[in-house]
Amino acid sequence: MKILKTYIFITLFTFSFAQLEYSLKDQNSTSPTFNDFVWLPTYSDFITVHFFSTQG
């Protein structure tokens, strides 16, 4: 039962942050949107994966 409660909590916690809008500068030099600010509505018709990291 404890595992089920933990699973439900993690699922609800994840979905609570799933629809946040944000704006970030694209720093990928090979991207067609390089140096543009990209955000959620620009890609609303696509399934996207968001990964934030630092170099080094």
| Cα 37 to Cα 23: distance, rounded to the nearest angstrom | 6
In Å, what is the CA distance from 7 to each residue of 14, 19, 35, 50, 51? 11, 20, 39, 22, 23
In Å, what is the CA distance from 53 to each residue of 4, 5, 8, 33, 45? 31, 30, 27, 18, 24
When comparing pLDDT for 29 and 45, which is higher? Answer: 29
| Domain residue limits, the chain | 21-56
Q: What is the pLDDT of residues 2-29, one digit of tens each?
A: 888 898 888 877 776 666 666 778 888 8
